[in-house]
Structure 1
Amino acid sequence: MSSENRSPRLAVLIDADNVSAKIADGLFEEIAKIGEASVRRIYGDFSNGRSRAWADVLPRHAIIPQQQFAFGKNASDITLVIDAMDFLYRGRFDGFCLVSSDSDFTRLAARIREQGVDVFGFGEQKTPESFRQACRRFIYIENLMPTVPANSADVARSAKSRLPPDNAVPIIKKIIEKMESEGGWVPLGAVGNQLAKLASDFDPTRYGVRKLSDLIRRVDSFEIDGSQGGTMRIRIKPSSQKGPKPNRATGATTSLISNDAGPTPRTGAGQALAVSRPSQQPAKGRNEKERERQCSSGN
């Protein structure tokens, strides 16, 4: 089979000390969307502690355990890094899946990407940003938990990990504004591609939905158009233009004209008349005119 037709070959390396065994099924379902998990290894002390829970799921997913007795804090981490570098220099893999919430793997992820090989990170919400951004894409394992949580604590953690859909609006707007568009419309698929590049940890499931299109429908900031041959397009909703309020009776805009008695509302037409009308002096009385005439005659 040619390299163009086969699925990307992946090396899956799991830090058992930092990841719950409950995500195993969801983890490999997600990895299957990326490519083929050719190598599956897990590192930890499976004789006790958190790592022990993985023993029951290893056969189901054909994961090879790398037992590391707890002689030191980073014993498992060091073994994982050595294997990763060995796999990298063999040049047989198209990508690595690093399953951990530990920032110690930040430099490893960066080094692998320097070789032009993709890194997909899997970890908890608490994973430091340095590790998340070192990966091409980062998936939160809280979203990979079983559909029916085992207990109320899992339910609480799952709900806590979700974000309000409106939190995603700023970054989506930023991407749309930078893209070439037709009347503001851009393909939704292209927006998704840019999101993956700009924010490696962006995941619609963090907002309680499965797909980006579902997220777009949840918020009131975008318009959706599916009339272009089945290709979904979106654009930012135009902001409403706020102008002077019209007078309900005449339709003319209302303004204020000052006079001695205070501001008086007038319509636009009334304002024009008020401006163009010449000032009028009060007419002089008959007696006043007669006195002026007599004074002129006396002079």
Structure 2
Amino acid sequence: MEIKDKSIALLIDAENISPSYIEIIIDEANKYGKINYRRVYGDWTTPQLNPWKQKMNEFGLTPVQQYAYTSGKNSSDFTLIIDAMDILYSGKVNSFCIVSSDSDFTKLVTRLREDNMFVFGMGESKTPISLVNSCETFSYLDKMLITYESEEKAPKRKSVKQTVEVVQETNTTSITPLRKIKHELKNMINSNLEDDGWAYWSLIAQLIMKKYPGFHPRNYGKNMRPLEFFEKMHDFEVKKEDTVIYIKNK
């Protein structure tokens, strides 16, 4: 992904997200542009958030205090939402990155997008599909962490089919089964064929991301570009003419 020139408000729900993801969060957000706000929300009087405190200085994060007035309720939700709206009305950013697995932020994302904000999300595989699909794009932090760690250890490679089967057997995830992605991809290609029987990959890639904002090959154990990922399945043919890439079903 090429680095873009967006101005970003990065808002992290510390009570819902592990600090072990912070380096991945920052790296991923930096791909979209400049991070103007780096705020992390929670009740900092509780010992549960102590691991986050160790990351504050290292990554330039601003802690925002929210006391837990109601037992059993994520206290950071309210303050994060209020801050997001204040930042929106300030006009200082054109993008938001909401880092949480909590579906309570779905309405916030929808509201920000109504004001033409680019909103991308990050969370774990347990994130409800409502929040995932409300974002322009969504990254699964636990899948990214597994991919990065496995690449560092350089384990024996598994086939795409092997890793996909593991994901599909998991019920507690909002990750779309790959068989469904493949089915939709084939339909999109057939619906957008040119006279020569090929479809523009740039168009198909946009359609896939609009329908499945959380899609990425790393969700299925492969950290590669989507085009390469699909090409290796042998269900699709790809060709390149000058700088234009085409795809069709085999």
TM-score normalised over the length of structure 2 = 0.81
TM-score normalised over the length of structure 1 = 0.68
| Count, aligned residues | 223
- 1:19 partnered with 2:44: no
The aligned runs of 1:49-64 (5 Å cut-off) are: 49-64=47-62
Partner in structure 2 of residue 193 of structure 1: 206
Q: Do the aligned partners of 1:23 and 1:144 also contact (CA within 8 Å) in 2? A: no
How far apart, CA to CA, are the structure 2 residues paired with 1:161 and 1:7?
37
Q: Do the aligned partners of 1:142 and 1:161 also contact (CA within 8 Å) in 2? A: no
What 5-or-longer segments of structure 1 have no aligned partner? 1-5, 150-157, 238-299
How far apart, CA to CA, are the structure 1 residues paired with 2:246 and 2:164?
30
Question: 1:181, CA displacement in angstroms?
Answer: 2.0
* CA displacement, residues 205-228 of structure 1 (integer Å, 9 cap, x when unaligned): 1122221122112312111212x0
Relative contact order: is structure 1 or structure 2 higher (C-alpha 8 Å, sep ≥ 6)?
2
How far apart, CA to CA, are the structure 1 residues paired with 2:87 and 2:225?
33
Question: 1:235, CA displacement in angstroms?
Answer: 0.4
- Paired residue type of 1:97: C
Partner in structure 1 of residue 106 of structure 2: 106
Q: 1:159 to 1:224 in 2, by over 3 A?
A: closer
How far apart, CA to CA, are the structure 1 residues paired with 2:20 and 2:41?
16
How far apart, CA to CA, are the structure 2 residues paired with 1:23 and 1:159?
23
The aligned runs of 1:112-127 (5 Å cut-off) are: 112-127=112-127
- Paired residue type of 1:139: S
Q: Do the aligned partners of 2:164 and 2:178 also contact (CA within 8 Å) in 1? A: no
Partner in structure 1 of residue 171 of structure 2: none
Partner in structure 2 of residue 42 of structure 1: 40
What 5-or-longer segments of structure 2 have no aligned partner? 151-162, 169-176
How far apart, CA to CA, are the structure 2 residues paired with 1:51 and 1:167?
38
How far apart, CA to CA, are the structure 2 residues paired with 1:219 and 1:50?
44
The aligned runs of 1:1-299 (5 Å cut-off) are: 7-72=5-70, 73-145=73-145, 147-148=148-149, 162=167, 166-209=179-222, 210-226=224-240, 228-237=241-250
How far apart, CA to CA, are the structure 1 residues paired with 2:203 and 2:194?
11
Indicate the SS of the match to 2:31: helix
Question: 1:165, CA displacement in angstroms?
Answer: 5.1
How far apart, CA to CA, are the structure 2 residues paired with 1:20 and 1:130?
21
Question: 1:68, CA displacement in angstroms?
Answer: 2.5
Q: Do the aligned partners of 2:8 and 2:35 also contact (CA within 8 Å) in 1? A: yes
- Paired residue type of 1:224: V
**Root-mean-square deviation (Å):** 2.3
Question: 1:41, CA displacement in angstroms?
Answer: 0.2
- Paired residue type of 1:217: E
Over 6 Å off, 4+ runs? 158-161
Q: 1:220 to 1:50 in 2, by over 3 A?
A: farther
* CA displacement, residues 92-131 of structure 1 (integer Å, 9 cap, x when unaligned): 2111100001011111111111111111111111111111
The range that moved more, 87-96 or 191-200, is 191-200
Largest Rg, 1 or 2: 1
* CA displacement, residues 21-51 of structure 1 (integer Å, 9 cap, x when unaligned): 1111111111111121110100012344543
